[in-house]
Chains A and B, each alone.
Chain A
């Protein structure tokens, strides 16, 4: 089988399956025809029904809330149209959170995906004890968030952090990691990379295993280096998975919440640092909704986030299609 056959959409022809069963006649034929025509809908129905009731409905309701002055407990305080949206676009905290989220997207999620791809490439080679390495990369995802926050507090602490201990041994001043955007963003990025790189490495690895070995071996006989094989054979053949991962991790990154929240050891109540230097959109949403009880504004932020995600995913999809198919 060649690699191109695994592209989405090319696996199954859209025309109905050849109707050789038609000739048999009787209830069996009718049953088969019914099966061919309607079973696909039965198979996808659970998704649409459950999603519709338990996700789409609440979200549309959230959209409705965004057009109102809406207190979280007392509910509707009157229709305000696009007023919340106007306020949001003039809100400097919103733009600040958007900037931070974008920076984390680039430095956290971007690096995490590259690292994941690279790790998957290594794990895909003939390693001794491969099960151990494979299990190892995904362990960070199991550790409870409380433990993670304690460990990173120990690493990035200003007075007692290990990283600062090492820096001061090297004669460099201790760094207050939380104090400025340019130290906080890289620090939070490391937490994101640490938690997610292994996760995506496994996804890439699962896809790489579908790539026929003969291709590798043929290229190796031709004297191609591992790097070259990796970039010109392996990566292009898992293109759909790469696109999938880029889009999905972008969606996840736009909603980054846990990592910066647990980095905030100074307890700034969700403002993400003394000057909001690492507050993300999701943190701001929680601040508005659950600390200030302003559900209308939080709902507006939710919908703007959705639109941003949609646009960004579209761009990402287009870009990663192009990049992944270059070789």
Chain B
């Protein structure tokens, strides 16, 4: 025992994690991956495997057939297109608008700043989905029911995002740089664009990733305000797939599997951004 202690210490001091850490990571990764794997395996089988006590882990040969059934049942191309429009627009606008607001709250002096920021924090506590019926009436008055605007516009801003981007500016945008740019004659927007935005890119990428996921997976409000025959999204299309008399799990999961692919793609793209940010930090340090 006495011999083991120093060796452990030296390993730690060298900064390289040991087997235990990798073991834990492998376990975490397995737990994360398994349901995803499972949701890709089931669409390759038929319904009779659902509920089997031994989980069905090997792919079967029904994938093409099941995906064909998805496209026969609902207009999944349209749903994918709509989900892409909604999620992309919401993500870009939300990240941009909250970066602007976050930057203002963190780095610009103005009267009432603290009070207004407190207002943002309080609005984060409002469970917004509780105002669904009045919101629907409002959409009716605007004539937006069954249009994608009805799901895009309310999602363009949220308090979480502003809070997060304020934090990002606070931590990553050095005040001296803002000052220097000001001296060089940059306008406020110029400073934001040239100084702040490049600095907060990793945090913006994290926000973009989460916003895209949340918007893509949003279900209740799109279900209520959109018209699944005209403006389906991936999630409402899944709901249509789930309305057979017999719950057709392989059909639903086939839809879910196709629907998750764009999400995986976005995720891979953005996680590169996040990693790039890490490298930057390493170079700086």
Contact = CB atoms under 8 A, between A and B. Distances in A.
A251 B125 contact: yes
A172 interface: no
Interface stretch (A77-85, A97-105, A197-205, A270-278): A197-205
B180 interface: no
A48 B259 CA distance: 33
B174 A1 contact: yes
Contact of A240 (B167, B219, B285): B167
B75 to A, nearest CB: 19
Interface stretch (B61-69, B77-85, B116-124): B116-124
A309 B127 contact: yes
B274 to A, nearest CB: 7
A233 interface: no
Interface in A8-58: 8-9, 11-17, 20, 32, 35-37, 39-41, 43-44, 46-48, 50-51, 53-58
A214 B206 CA distance: 25
Interface in B137-185: 138, 153-154, 156-160, 162-164, 166-167, 169-175, 179, 182-183
A12 B107 contact: yes
Interface in A205-228: 206-207, 209-210, 212-214, 220, 223, 225-226
A302 interface: yes
A169 to B, nearest CB: 13
Contacts of A136: 25, 28-29, 32-33
A140 interface: yes
Contacts of B189: 39
Given A39-B108, A40-B188, A244-B167, A59 B16 contact: no
A150 B42 CA distance: 10
Task: Determine which residue in A20, A198, A244, A298 has the highest number of CB atoms from chain B within 10 A of its CB, and name it.
Answer: A244
B230 interface: no
Contacts of B259: 144
Contacts of A50: 153-154, 156-157
Contact of B17 (A44, A122, A247): A122
Interface in A135-181: 135-148, 150-151, 154, 159-160, 162, 165
B101 A46 contact: yes
B124 A55 contact: no
A146 B238 CA distance: 9
A264 to B, nearest CB: 15
A145 B214 CA distance: 12
B53 A61 contact: no
Contact of B160 (A44, A226, A248): A248
A285 interface: yes
Contacts of B275: 130-131, 134
Contact of A140 (B21, B35, B97, B187): B35
Contact of B132 (A51, A58, A154): A58
Given A35-B188, A251-B124, A57 B138 contact: yes
A12 B175 contact: yes
Given A56-B123, A137-B32, A213-B285, A144 B13 contact: no
Contact of A13 (B29, B35, B109, B121): B109
Nearest to A133: B25
A40 B128 contact: no
B154 A306 contact: no
B194 interface: no
Interface string A294-327: 0100110010011001100100000000000000
Contacts of B38: 147, 150-151
B101 A165 contact: no
B97 A55 contact: no
B267 A138 contact: yes
B277 A147 contact: no
B215 to A, nearest CB: 13
B256 A51 contact: no
Given A43-B108, A248-B160, A144 B182 contact: no
23 contacts: A8-B166, A12-B108, A37-B110, A39-B104, A43-B108, A48-B116, A56-B126, A61-B131, A125-B21, A134-B271, A136-B25, A137-B32, A138-B267, A140-B31, A141-B213, A142-B263, A146-B253, A147-B256, A206-B202, A213-B285, A223-B13, A225-B12, A247-B121
Given A55-B126, A150-B42, A62 B242 contact: no
Contacts of B114: 9
Nearest to B169: A11
B171 A139 contact: no
B154 A144 contact: no
Contacts of B4: none
A199 B271 CA distance: 13
A94 interface: no
Given A43-B100, A244-B164, A125 B128 contact: no
